Amino acid sequence: MTIDVLETLARDEMVRVRAMISATLQDIPMAPPEIVSRVIETLARDPDLSVSGPLLENSPLLTDAVLVEIIASPVVRGAGAAISRRWGVSTTVSDAIVEADDEPAINALLRNDSAQIREETLDRLIETAADRPGLHEPLVRRPRLSSANALRLAKFVAIALVAELKRRTELDEHTSGLLGLELARRIEADPSAATGLESDDPVDERNAAVQLYNAGQLTDKTVSAALASGRRAFLMASLALRSGLEEPVVHSLLNSRSGKAMTALAWKADLDMAFALQLQLRLGNLPPASAIRPDAEGAFPMTEDDMIWQIDLVADVD
């Protein structure tokens, strides 16, 4: 066995011993000052994360000053992330983690619900987060997110995260409405991105439609995007608002299995014949052979009187 191999084995054994000591000391709540400075702080600065990690993440005997020093001059990759996972990280340590610009450490900090992060520090992170997609999800899911920061995040995070922001219960009604408008703008720009976004709560979907309608932004494109993505509750409310019909009447027209009735509903909601055809096929589930199709000019093939009669027929029954 060569000298190099023996030295490697000796180093590995020393690391294993130091790691065992670190694991033993990580949870002790009290120790004499000389033990803290000579043993615990020394092991916390160890270049091997298997040794330093347990203490950095768990030891209550490491002061903020020591933690900040280690963050500022890390001797091993992963030290910042280990510190970020500590229970009750202080604002002083949080500021140091953000200042070091170690993205894995910042990600771990944001996911640590017990970490204290100043509003100003969160503002700085959001200012630079647009080009750092790894931070988008933990920022959106950060507890106690202010309305201003929620709206700023909504400008650049993925559409699914905008929907998640809108579902946050601590945000006021005005902020929720603005998030709804942003969500609608994103869907209008890219209808395919809305697939699977329907809220678990139909009331939320109806409220979103009302907010858009009141803001004058329940556009043809927004309603078409809802149809394409299968957002039934949103679509039902949208058609009722745009047509002036009661929602039960809209429901009956959509479930009539009649292509004429669904075509009349699209007309009443001031939508075109292309939408009417998709409404029959996608939401009405009519076989293609049974659907009412546009005339040669792409317009409605039925007279207005016929479409009014189709609606009145259902409305009178309801």
User: What are the 10-residue block averages of pLDDT along the chain, 318 residues in total?
Assistant: 48 71 80 80 87 89 93 84 93 95 93 92 92 92 88 90 82 79 76 58 77 87 81 88 91 88 93 91 83 90 92 74
- The answer on 226 and 180 residing in a single domain is yes
**Counted domains in the chain:** 3
- The domain boundary, picked from 242, 264, 292, lies at 242
- The answer on 219 and 159 residing in a single domain is yes
- The answer on 248 and 229 residing in a single domain is no
- The answer on 129 and 161 residing in a single domain is no
- The domain boundary, picked from 242, 265, 280, lies at 242
Within-domain flag for 278: yes
Within-domain flag for 302: yes
- The domain boundary, picked from 106, 135, 164, lies at 135
Within-domain flag for 256: yes
Predicted pLDDT at 27: 80
Predicted pLDDT at 5: 38
Name residue 246's amino acid: E
- Rounded Cα distance between 133 and 135, Å, is 5
Predicted pLDDT at 85: 94
Which pair of structure tokens corresponds to residue 318?
Answer: 């309801």
- The answer on 180 and 131 residing in a single domain is no
- The answer on 124 and 152 residing in a single domain is no
Within-domain flag for 129: yes
Name residue 30's amino acid: M
Name residue 203's amino acid: V
- The answer on 233 and 211 residing in a single domain is yes
Domain that holds residue 265: 244-318
- Rounded Cα distance between 17 and 21, Å, is 6
- The answer on 90 and 48 residing in a single domain is yes
- The answer on 202 and 161 residing in a single domain is yes
Within-domain flag for 307: yes
- The answer on 39 and 109 residing in a single domain is yes
Handedness of CA 290, 291, 295, 301 (dihedral sign): positive
Within-domain flag for 154: yes
Within-domain flag for 91: yes
Predicted pLDDT at 107: 94
- The answer on 312 and 238 residing in a single domain is no
Q: Give CA separation, 202 vs 159, 207, 208, 253, 262, in Å.
A: 19, 9, 10, 19, 22
